[in-house]
Amino acid sequence: MAANTALLPDAGPLITLAYADALDLLFKPGWPIVLVDMVLHEVTRNQTPTSEKLVQWAAASRVSVRATRTFRNYQQRSLTDPAAARSANLGELAIQEAMNDFALDQPQRTAVFLFEDHKIARASFLLPGNCRKISTRAYLLFLEQQGWLASAAEIERRAIQAGRNFSRLRFPSE
């Protein structure tokens, strides 16, 4: 299953795992990681407590970066009219685009969308049949259940102690 599954993390999980110094956990299932270009831009464009860690991690781990029309459009608008170039929710839109592409171009593969945002859990987010969505907390629990992580709660604690306002979202709900 590992070769047939790709992990597409949103900005929230990347930030949380960077705060916890646990970005390596994304590799535990053995799934290729696909960073959506707009998401990578979102987490690295401004100086934050985790932006440099994420830049270094993405370069060192040589994760795949998937180009999207969403990001290309954002870049073009930023050059021609920076004031008109909106960036809100573009990461999610770019991930939706990437999942749609997976469904059309690689229907035999499964894309796992890793998220942390309450809006995504509740939104009418179109999820193609070969795509799944999972929260950061549920992902950490999955790793713990598989024996790949000693304690999901410890990762949460480390992120919070480092300054992350970690989502209280439980998805799927308990």
pLDDT digits (tens, 9 = 90+) for 7-53: 999 999 999 999 999 999 999 999 999 999 999 999 998 899 999 99
Rounded mean pLDDT, 44-70? 92
Q: Report the distance separating Cα 27 and Cα 57, nearest Å.
A: 12
Question: pLDDT: is 62 or 94 the higher one?
Answer: 94
**26: its two tokens:** 């994304």
Do residues 127 and 115 make contact, with C-beta atoms less than 8 angstroms apart? no
pLDDT-derived band at 1 (thresholds 50, 70, 90) equals low
pLDDT score at 162 = 93
pLDDT score at 143 = 96
**51: its two tokens:** 């932006």
Q: What is the pLDDT of residues 90-130, one digit of tens each?
A: 888 898 899 888 888 888 888 898 988 655 555 556 778 88
Rounded mean pLDDT, 64-82? 89
Tell which CATH classification among 3.30.70, 3.40.50, 1.10.10, 1.20.120 matches the domain 2-161: 3.40.50
Rounded mean pLDDT, 68-72? 94
What percentage of the chain reaches a pLDDT higher than 90?
52
pLDDT score at 123 = 54
Residue 150 pLDDT more than 60? Answer: yes
Q: Is 137 exposed, middle or buried (0-12, 13-18, 19+ CB in 10 A)?
A: buried
Q: Report the distance separating Cα 99 and Cα 102, nearest Å.
A: 5
- For residues 103-135, one letter each, b for 16 or more C-beta atoms within 10 angstroms of the residue's C-beta and e for the rest, the string is beeeeeebbbbbbbbeebbeeebeebebbebbb
Q: What is the pLDDT of residues 83-94, one digit of tens each?
A: 766 777 788 889
Amino acid in position 114: L
**What pTM was estimated for this model as a whole?**
0.87
What percentage of the chain reaches a pLDDT higher than 70?
87
